[in-house]
Amino acid sequence: MTELSKTGAALGEPAPGNAPDAFLAVRDLKVHFPTDDGLVKSVDGLSFQVEKGKTLCIVGESGSGKSVTSLAIMGLHRLGAQGKHVQMSGEIWLDGKELVSADPDEVRRLRGREMAMIFQDPLSAMHPYYTIGNQIVEAYRVHNDVSKKVARKRAIEMLDRVGIPEPNKRVDGYPHEFSGGMRQRAMIAMALVNNPELLIADEPTTALDVTVQAQILDLIRDLQKEFGSAVVLITHDLGVVAEIADDVLVMYGGRCVERGSVDDVFERPQHPYTWGLLGSMPRIDRETSERLIPVKGQPPSLINVPSGCAFHPRCPYADIPKGDVTRTVRPELQQVGGGHFSACHLSPEDRTRIWTEEIAPKL
């Protein structure tokens, strides 16, 4: 992630409208859903970029807008019944093309070939009445002019690569005959069948046990090496992040609260929410008797987003910055190191002190 700009304020500015250098660049993305109870601001001013061959991991609380962001990049919010309601603004640049304002047909053509997505919910992404094989064959043939036989061979090869045992038999199975983890792998096979240049993987390994998980991460790395693909990986498993990320983006309440290289975020995290995330993680390399530091309280409402810093109702340090600034002024992303940004009102001195004295020793 090269820096978009030096100051946080500039990051919130209206997007400049011209193509960026990065392969994927998201600028000030907003995705809002009107509901009977009010406007749900699922994503509210998000910016990031990913170069080819690099992996960006997006982490953050359940409901913080990770999946909504990825569906927006894939142009999937504008489809179906939802499409009439969703309010989207900002820019999404993929390989020099702007997608938010693009013709839906154009985005559809990119989908599956140039960009592919592994969905969080395998069942919802697969058709129950078609065999797994047929669905992969279809995905392949839409973008490749080959016979059914060739496509079937490719489908079996892909199932084999994601570790489905006896792929030549399983290829004729239906989704309900697969275990949860096998369905997820079948979907990964489907997403990778066209060697996409941008792969968005939404919790690709949550339903998988560790051995298969390692295999899938290797597969994603292979894809990257071979085709220089850019990868956006959404996960709540920080073990996976540590393993595969180049850069990390931490989301809270529809916004980015911290981003930087994987080393920045794990070794010099600057945002109280990131501290909470790192602290509430059960680790197998630790004693069970060690205390974890969970993030207390409830996730924020996205209709009545807390004023000022959205994290303030749960932040143990909300009273440290002078006055009631954390409750009234929304903190913008500020550069806190080369390529490392954080959105928090704490002074650099306070941050460093809290991190080194209170948090780091407990991790």
Ligand X SMILES: Nc1ncnc2c1ncn2[C@@H]1O[C@H](COP(=O)(O)OP(=O)(O)OP(=O)(O)O)[C@@H](O)[C@H]1O
The residues in 257-316 that bind ligand SF4, with binding defined as CB under 6 A, are 271-272, 309, 311-312, 315
How many whole angstroms separate alpha carbon 149 and alpha carbon 155?
Answer: 10
42's contact among ligand SF4, ligand X, Mg ion, none, with CB below 5 to 8 A by partner kind, is: ligand X
- By the criterion CB under 5 A, which residues form the site for Mg ion? 67, 120, 179-180
Candidates 6, 14, 19, 35: give the one binding ligand X (CB under 6 A).
Answer: 35
- Six-digit token pair at 283? 């680790």
Secondary element (H or E) of residue 98:
strand 97-98
Contact segment (CB under 6 A) with ligand X among 19-27, 60-68, 143-151, 311-319 equals: 60-68
CB under 8 Å to 357, separation ≥6 — which residues?
A: none
Contact 192, 115 (CB under 8 A): no
Strand partners, 87: 32
Q: Taking the chain, what is the end-to-end CA distance rounded to the nearest angstrom?
A: 26
Task: Identify which of residues 125 and 309 has a Cβ nearer to ligand SF4 in the complex.
Answer: 309
Report if residue 174 touches other proteins, rule: CB under 8 A. Answer: no
CB of 43 to ligand X, least distance (A): 7
Q: Which of 49, 197, 190, 32 is nearest to 114 (CA)?
A: 197
**Of residues 235 and 342, the one with the C-beta less far from Mg ion:** 235
Site membership for ligand SF4, residue 253 (CB under 6 A): no
- Does the protein bind other proteins through residue 61 (CB under 8 A)? yes
Q: Measured from the CB atom, is 67 or 326 closer to ligand X?
A: 67
C-alpha 7/C-alpha 19 separation (Å) is: 20
| By CB under 6 A, residue 344 contacts ligand SF4 | yes
Name the phi and psi angles at 128, rounded to 5.
-70, -25
Judged by CB under 8 A, the stretch of 6-14, 88-96, 101-109, 204-212 that binds other proteins is 204-212
* Cβ-based nearer residue to other proteins, 49 or 120: 120
Q: Of residues 302, 309, 333, 336, which one binds ligand X by CB under 6 A?
A: 302
Which of the residues 311 through 350 are near other proteins (CB under 8 A)? none
Q: Which of 214, 305, 320, 329 binds other proteins (CB under 8 A)?
A: 214
Q: How far is CA 35 from CA 32, 76, 84, 230, 273, in A?
A: 10, 19, 12, 34, 28
Q: How far apart are CA 173 and CA 149, in angstroms?
A: 17
3-class DSSP assignment, residue 173: coil
Q: Which of residues 142-181 bind ligand X (CB under 6 A)?
A: 176-181
Say what the alpha-carbon torsion angle 54, 60, 63, 68 is, to the nearest 10 degrees.
-20
Alpha-carbon distances of 243 from 101, 218, 232, 260, rounded to whole Å? 35, 10, 14, 15
> How many CB atoms sit inside 10 A of residue 203's CB?
20
**119 touches ligand SF4 (CB under 6 A):** no
Question: Judged by CB under 6 A, which of 92, 198, 265, 346 binds ligand SF4?
Answer: 346
- 68 makes contact with ligand X (CB under 6 A): yes
If one asks whether residue 285 binds other proteins (CB under 8 A), the answer comes out as yes
From residue 182, alpha-carbon distances to 114, 193, 278 in Å are 25, 16, 30
- Closest contact distance (angstroms) between CB of 344 and other proteins is 17
Contact 193, 134 (CB under 8 A): no
Residues near other proteins (CB under 8 A), total: 74
Tokens of 327: 């409750």
| Contact flag: residue 162 with other proteins (CB under 8 A) | no
- Cβ atoms of 294 and 272 within 8 Å: the answer is no
Stretch that binds other proteins, among 149-157, 288-296, 316-324, 347-355 (CB under 8 A): 288-296
| Contact between 42 and ligand X per CB under 6 A | yes
Size of site (CB under 6 A) for ligand SF4: 14
Residue 345 binding ligand X, by CB under 6 A: no
Give the interface with ligand SF4 as residue ranges (CB under 6 A).
271-272, 309, 311-312, 315, 317-318, 321, 326, 331, 344-346
